[in-house]
Amino acid sequence: MTKTIHVLNGPNLNLLGSREPETYGTQTLADIEAKLAAICKTHGVALQFRQSNHEGELVTWIQEAGKAGDPIIINAGAYSHTSIALIDAIKGTNAKVIEVHLSNIHARESYRHHSFISGAARGIIMGLGALGYELALTAIFADMAKSES
Ligand code: DQA
């Protein structure tokens, strides 16, 4: 049974709230964490919510969650478009990943259209702002209910 849900956020997501609000909205990362923590509490599941501007730190966190068999919600920010190391960590530990982006990366600059994460993700949610994180949680809880029944 899943004990912890990991939400991993990549570079510049610590700036949410003031960073290009027309693209990313006005909620801060702390707002998003508080919302997800409240939802996880009602389900009796622990939340590990983290952000890093460093690729290697994200690799370590993916490995940790993957080895524990815990589900991951990841918004890898710009590393989604560049990082083979992140995808190797996901594949190398069989991590169960849902990819989230606040913005619709396909409606933006062409260099954002490809995500390395997508090929190994169980699902992808984008363009719905902070709601995307909540929808990803809903998917994980649905999986957990299925595996417990
Ligand atoms: C993002 C989209 C990426 O292209 C960008 O580099 C980000 C945020 C999103 O949530 O929409 O940092 O992942």
Structural domain spans, the chain: 4-148
Q: Is 142 exposed, middle or buried (0-12, 13-18, 19+ CB in 10 A)?
A: exposed
Query: Global pTM?
Result: 0.96
State which ligand 1 atom lies nearest to the alpha carbon of 108.
4
For residue 95 the two structure tokens come to: 């991590």
Q: Which residues of 2-14 are buried (b: 16+ CB within 10 A; e: fewer)?
A: beebbbbbbbebb
Confidence of residue 114 (pLDDT cuts 50, 70, 90): very high
Instruction: Provide the pLDDT for residue 2.
Output: 60
- Of residues 6, 79, 101, 133, which has the active-site annotation? 101
pLDDT tens digits, 90-113: 999 999 999 999 999 999 999 999
Instruction: Provide the pLDDT for residue 149.
Output: 76
Contacts of 68 (CB under 8 A, 6+ apart): 3, 4
User: Which one of 3.10.20.590, 3.20.20.120, 3.40.50.450, 3.40.50.9100 gives the CATH number of domain 4-148?
Assistant: 3.40.50.9100
Q: Is 115 exposed, middle or buried (0-12, 13-18, 19+ CB in 10 A)?
A: buried
Compute, in angstroms, the gap from residue 117 CA to the centroid of ligand 1: 12
Sign, CA torsion 89/95/101/102: negative
Please say if 101 is a catalytic residue.
yes
Please say if 24 is a catalytic residue.
yes
Instruction: Provide the pLDDT for residue 147.
Output: 84
Confidence of residue 130 (pLDDT cuts 50, 70, 90): very high
As for ligand 1, residues whose beta carbon falls within 6 Å of it are 12, 75, 77-78, 80, 101-103, 105, 112
